[in-house]
Structure 1
Amino acid sequence: MLRLAILAGLISLCAAAAKLEEVFAWKEVSYAWPSEDAKNQAVKNGEYISANNLPLGLGRWKDKLFVTVPRWKAGVPSSLNYISLASPNKTDSLIPYPDWKANTLPKGEEKPDENAITSTFRVTADACDRLWVMDTGVADILGEFKVISSPAIVIFDLNTDKLIRRYTLKEGDLKHESFFANIVVDVLPGKCDKAFAYIPDLGGYGLVVYSFADNDSWRIKHNFFHFDPLQGDLKVGGINFQWTDGVFGLALGPADDNGDRTMYFHALASTTEFSVNTNVLKNKTIATDPHSYDMFKIEGNKGEHTQTSASVFDEKSNVIFLTQLVRDGVACWNIKKSLSPQNVTLIAEDHDNLIFTNDIKIDADRYLWIISDKMPAFLYRGLNPDEINYRIYKVAIDEAIKGTVCEA
């Protein structure tokens, strides 16, 4: 037993040895204002309160790195932003996307434009050069909870920065407790019009499926979308809190000959991973039929303290990467191996710089991008503006899994 324990320790040390490249780091995020006067006016009006801006989601497309800033609190001037990767400045300012107007909250009786973004948590850039945004429609979530618009999927053409479509979720897609913090897109190259989007509802414990071709959506319910009451007590960055977040992270496996995939999913307040074939989700009749219950499968348990927000799949290595909120890092699992604690290992761990790894993405060059943002401290205690609070890293995938149980 002692030899096994030593071996496990050595594996763990090797697993967390991947060298991450720090790309951006901020004490507080700033924005590329049209002018200094515009910034000063926003500060004066309370439209920009620097301490209330928490970067949360990310995604890369060519030389743009998208960074979301949800409107948790008042004083967030822009929710959907990007940074130019050509910039050598690690503390570069966020540039609103597609522009300032689309990210500015309406005043009085004004109605938001079709391309307006009220508050978004995560985005996806697809193989067809489109940016998919899940707009919650709510500002000042922790304060006055201002409903600006209904939850909607907003899709942009990344080559022109123009709106392709805005789809407002139907009444039947929503529950009173609904909270949409993620969106994953299922599309094959050359079949852009056949895309589907999967949107987990972490508060209402459901999954909304959207068909681009039909411009229609439907809601799926399943027991596996709920949280585990034994896994909602978390301690991150010295802060103890309890969450009841349900289905959250979605990772799409490789496409088969029919274009279908296995979707791996989990609740945030859980350590169990589940799966379902997308041919179930994409068929509205089957997806909403209670008899499809057994088509959802249990993959296994990741182990103690493995609560995960986002997850993402790399097709070449057959590896799913998973944020590790309690362990201050990122883990991997090779789907060719059974899911067990022995087959889930850390590829990065840092108790100072990776506190709350909120989102991860894989780009076209097979780099894994990671954002850490100390969100529990932001929500419950407040952050120290004199220290670095937000960091974005990247690492080559093959380097990240080298020497680990995830390597083929």
Structure 2
Amino acid sequence: MAARSLLALQLLLVLQLHLAWGQYFGQQLKGVLQWKAADFAFPTPQERQEALASGRYVPENCIPLDMDVDYSNPARSRLFVTIPRFVEGIPYTLGRVSRVQGPSGPLIEPFPNAAIQARPETNNCQGIVSVFRIKIDECNRMWVLDTGKIGEKRICLPQLVVIDMKTDKIIHRYQIPADQLVCELSLLVNLDPSPLGSCKNTKVYMADVTAPAMIVYDMPRGKSWRITNKQMHPNPDHGTFTISNESFDLMDGMVAMALSPRIPTDNVVFQSNYGTNWRPSNDRLLYFHALASVTENAVRTSVLHNDTIWEEDVEAMPRAFRPIGVRPSQAVAEAMDSNGNLFFGLVGQNAIACWDSTTPYNPANMRIVSQNSETLQFPSGVKIIRNRKGAEELWVLTCRFQKIFSATVVLYRTFTFNNCEEAAKELMEQIKEAKADLRSKGLVLSD
């Protein structure tokens, strides 16, 4: 197992963005830090030893997937990472990167504390189970999307947890209702919060990757609703991923989202036939795509906010979701800057690309910001972050996912069944087969 952990290289890279389009390019991302596997700052040395001895901490299973940066305090900056509980052996799922070096890289301190994450099976769903992605908004709040699952096992319903960056206290929780999920299959892996004029008036868009859909949360009203569309589904033609000559199959649906600043009048995606009551400056576009796809899509957020329509029919308004074009290969995460430039990783090219949203979405209008066959394998986290000087920075977290996928991650699958009983039976068979395969590779999982 020690040899495999050397392959699980994680990198955080940053590039300051400039207003001039040409200045984005020809620069290399600056390396910030790296891990061989995530290493944690336990409350005591005894707890660390106990976690190692019991299997609650298996270092090679701990793979950071996403990050965000807190610039709210003038006296210090903080970097946060997520470590999803794909399998057992992950003691904490959300943490702050400390200045203390461990054997595999900087130690990660559980955030907001260790107790809220340590043993999710026994905390009556009052803690945090497993986090894929986070987002710090302009109101200095960290939005945490908790999947509620360890591997394929549902521990709790998924939830949104909001943490005040000034106090590090949880100030809000919202549990996703069970009737907005598809049995045990749903897995919520990404979120994009959008304060609409005030911090209290926030909408949050969430992506369900395995039962492809979007869930929209209305914070002031304390309610959410589910939306589905064919553009959220994976494309079997793009379910095989090849990274540096190594391939694996992953049929994941909707995974990435990015909000436009506002819809400009010269936007070529949505520029006609909206009627006299539609004002571009009052609407935004939500760009999104499935992981197993090369197609980018867009929808107006005003469409998503009409809960009455979606509560009556989760598949309403199918033509409101538009495919806007294709890119050279699959992409994981994406983010848009304040000028409407969309940044995303190209998995097949080991590169970060950029597209100007005032132009048609096609490879001719995409520019390579940075490309490196070693450091840019599988960019799983992409963020545009405004620093305390007001400048925007591009942050990227990468991992050699193809090296760890077959040994640590149970394949996400998309199912269509007539009832939950049928789905659950098929899912358990798939999990049984996957665990047998993992055991043959030397990874022992709990049943």
Query: TM-score by structure 2 length?
Result: 0.76
Counterpart residue number, 1:111: 123
Q: Which amino acid aligns with 2:96?
A: Y
Out of 53, 71, 94, the residue aligned to residue 80 of structure 1 is 94
Q: Which amino acid aligns with 1:272?
A: T
Q: Partner of 2:40: helix, strand, or coil? A: coil
Counterpart residue number, 1:164: 171
User: Given that residues 341 and 357 in structure 2 are in contact (C-alpha distance below 8 angstroms), is that contact kept between their aligned partners in structure 1?
Assistant: yes
Q: Which amino acid aligns with 1:19?
A: Q
1:184 and 2:192 aligned: yes
1:330 and 2:352 aligned: yes
Counterpart residue number, 1:297: 322
* Distance apart, 1:27 and its partner CA: 1.6
* Distance apart, 1:147 and its partner CA: 2.3
1:201 and 2:208 aligned: yes
Q: Partner of 1:307: helix, strand, or coil? A: coil
User: Given that residues 15 and 348 in structure 1 are in contact (C-alpha distance below 8 angstroms), is that contact kept between their aligned partners in structure 2?
Assistant: no
Aligned residue runs from structure 1 range 252-291, under 5 A: 252-255=259-262, 259-288=282-311, 289=313, 290-291=315-316
1:32 and 2:58 aligned: no
* Distance apart, 1:271 and its partner CA: 0.8
| Cα distance in 1 for residues equivalent to 2:228 and 2:57 | 39
Q: Structure 2: any 5+ residue segments left out of the alignment? A: 1-22, 72-76, 264-279, 410-447
| Cα distance in 1 for residues equivalent to 2:208 and 2:308 | 20
| Cα distance in 1 for residues equivalent to 2:125 and 2:254 | 30
Counterpart residue number, 1:11: none
1:354-402: CA deviation from partner (whole Å, max 9, x where unpaired): 111111111112111111111221121579xxxxxxxxxxxxxxxxxxx
1:372 and 2:398 aligned: yes
* Distance apart, 1:193 and its partner CA: 1.0
Counterpart residue number, 2:413: none
Aligned CA distance change for structure 1 residues 341 and 88 (closer, same or farther; 3 Å):
same
Aligned residue runs from structure 1 range 4-403, under 5 A: 17-62=26-71, 63-84=77-98, 91-106=105-120, 110-112=122-124, 114=126, 116-139=127-150, 141=151, 145-176=152-183, 177-188=185-196, 191-255=198-262, 259-288=282-311, 289=313, 290-303=315-328, 306-316=329-339, 318-365=340-387, 366-381=392-407
Percent of aligned pairs with the same amino acid: 30
1:160-207: CA deviation from partner (whole Å, max 9, x where unpaired): 11111211111221013212111111114x501110110111111111
User: Given that residues 280 and 287 in structure 1 are in contact (C-alpha distance below 8 angstroms), is that contact kept between their aligned partners in structure 2?
Assistant: no
| Cα distance in 2 for residues equivalent to 1:103 and 1:329 | 34
Aligned length in residues: 358
Counterpart residue number, 1:395: none
User: Given that residues 61 and 408 in structure 2 are in contact (C-alpha distance below 8 angstroms), is that contact kept between their aligned partners in structure 1?
Assistant: no
* Distance apart, 1:113 and its partner CA: 5.5
User: Given that residues 157 and 177 in structure 2 are in contact (C-alpha distance below 8 angstroms), is that contact kept between their aligned partners in structure 1?
Assistant: no
Q: Partner of 1:353: helix, strand, or coil? A: coil
| Cα distance in 1 for residues equivalent to 2:70 and 2:54 | 34
Q: Which amino acid aligns with 1:301?
A: V
Q: Which amino acid aligns with 1:242?
A: D
Q: Which amino acid aligns with 1:66?
A: F
User: Given that residues 15 and 345 in structure 1 are in contact (C-alpha distance below 8 angstroms), is that contact kept between their aligned partners in structure 2?
Assistant: no
Query: TM-score by structure 1 length?
Result: 0.83
User: Given that residues 105 and 112 in structure 1 are in contact (C-alpha distance below 8 angstroms), is that contact kept between their aligned partners in structure 2?
Assistant: no
Q: Which amino acid aligns with 1:199?
A: M
Q: Which amino acid aligns with 1:117?
A: I
Q: Partner of 2:308: helix, strand, or coil? A: helix
User: Given that residues 325 and 358 in structure 1 are in contact (C-alpha distance below 8 angstroms), is that contact kept between their aligned partners in structure 2?
Assistant: no
Q: Which amino acid aligns with 2:331?
A: T
| Cα distance in 2 for residues equivalent to 1:79 and 1:277 | 33
| Cα distance in 1 for residues equivalent to 2:117 and 2:128 | 5
Aligned CA distance change for structure 1 residues 382 and 275 (closer, same or farther; 3 Å):
closer
1:328-370: CA deviation from partner (whole Å, max 9, x where unpaired): 1211100011111111222111111211111111111211111
User: Given that residues 232 and 290 in structure 2 are in contact (C-alpha distance below 8 angstroms), is that contact kept between their aligned partners in structure 1?
Assistant: yes
* Distance apart, 1:311 and its partner CA: 0.7
1:296-318: CA deviation from partner (whole Å, max 9, x where unpaired): 22211123xx21111100013x2
| Cα distance in 1 for residues equivalent to 2:408 and 2:159 | 30
Q: Which amino acid aligns with 2:129?
A: T
Q: Which amino acid aligns with 2:171?
A: I
RMSD: 2.2
Shifted more, 280-289 versus 195-204: the winner is 280-289
Aligned CA distance change for structure 1 residues 247 and 382 (closer, same or farther; 3 Å):
closer
| Cα distance in 2 for residues equivalent to 1:78 and 1:299 | 39
